[in-house]
């Protein structure tokens, strides 16, 4: 048998790093085992792995794309503070929140080609720590001034926002990296559920089909109506 043969070989070898040999042995054993499987058994194992992966993905996306407790319908938005289309979407999202009296859950998804959106998202999470409304107001403020902002003056706009809202922005606002970790968590979660562009907007519901992606900004209100009327 392949496994027994490999174990006998292991007992004969000496002067080899044990941890290295162990990892090599396991890898060879697995490959040998897989080679001895029939075609149908290989197909079954691959299918089982795919089913498990799909199930895990489904569980995560359902845990993310759902309304907050106490709400039947909500919006879930993945956005980048430097994204022009996100700037255009923000007023429509806020109008939908007011018109339909539904909550919005905002996730930061800074894109790698943008040179200040990540820092802006970290600042937004700092303001979130004061209150969720303050963090949301900061994001909308940044969108309003997006065309004026660059990496050199981002902090000036954040300080101006803090002053206007009678709060402070410390010189070091994320000393332990907590807010950066939250941004990373948002972005990683978006990657895991397949987000690849911003804004990505979902209308989520606690009834029927759990989530519907908004295909374009012009259909936002129509999509909300369709979900609410199910």
Contacts of 51 (CB under 8 A, 6+ apart): none
CA–CA gap between residue 159 and residue 153 (Å, rounded): 10
CA–CA gap between residue 139 and residue 81 (Å, rounded): 7
Give which of 55, 101, 93, 60 is closest to 76, Cα–Cα.
Answer: 93
Number of H-type helices and E-type strands within the chain: 9, 4
Domain residue ranges in the chain: 2-62, 67-228
- Identify the residue whose tokens are 């009296």: 101
Q: What pTM value is reported for the model?
A: 0.74
CA–CA gap between residue 172 and residue 170 (Å, rounded): 5
Tell me what the pLDDT averaged over the chain comes to.
84
CA–CA gap between residue 159 and residue 149 (Å, rounded): 13
pLDDT tens digits along 79-127: 999 999 999 999 999 999 999 999 999 999 999 999 999 999 999 999 9
Between 208 and 44, where is the model more confident?
208
pLDDT tens digits along 160-207: 999 999 999 999 999 999 999 999 999 999 999 999 999 999 999 998
180: its two tokens: 């950066």
Give which of 151, 148, 167 is closest to 159, Cα–Cα.
Answer: 167
39: its two tokens: 């075609």
CATH architecture of 67-228: 3-Layer(aba) Sandwich (3.40)
- Identify the residue whose tokens are 């993905």: 57
Between 179 and 50, where is the model more confident?
179
Q: Please report the pLDDT score of residue 20 as a whole number.
A: 47
């Amino acid at each position: 048998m392949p496994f027994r043969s490999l174990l006998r070989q292991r007992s004969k070898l000496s002067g080899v790093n044990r941890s290295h040999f162990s990892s090599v042995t396991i890898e060879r054993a697995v490959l040998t085992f897989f080679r001895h499987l029939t075609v149908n058994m290989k197909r079954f194992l691959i299918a089982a792995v795919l089913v498990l992966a799909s199930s895990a993905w489904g569980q995560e996306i359902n845990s993310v794309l759902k309304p907050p407790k106490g709400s039947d319908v909500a919006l879930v938005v993945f956005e980048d503070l430097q994204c022009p289309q996100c700037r255009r979407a923000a007023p429509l999202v806020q109008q939908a929140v007011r018109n339909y009296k539904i909550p919005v859950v905002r996730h930061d998804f800074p894109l790698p080609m943008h040179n200040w959106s990540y820092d802006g998202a970290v600042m937004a999470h700092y303001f979130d720590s004061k209150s969720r409304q303050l963090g949301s107001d900061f994001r909308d403020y940044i969108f309003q001034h997006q065309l004026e902002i660059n990496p050199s003056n981002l902090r000036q706009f954040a300080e101006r926002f803090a002053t206007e809202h009678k709060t402070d922005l410390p010189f070091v606002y994320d000393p332990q990296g907590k807010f950066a970790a939250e941004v990373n968590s948002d972005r990683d979660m978006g990657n895991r559920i397949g987000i690849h562009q911003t804004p990505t907007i979902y209308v989520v519901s606690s009834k029927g089909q759990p989530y519907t992606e908004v295909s374009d900004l012009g259909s936002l209100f129509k999509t909300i109506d369709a979900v609410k009327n199910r």
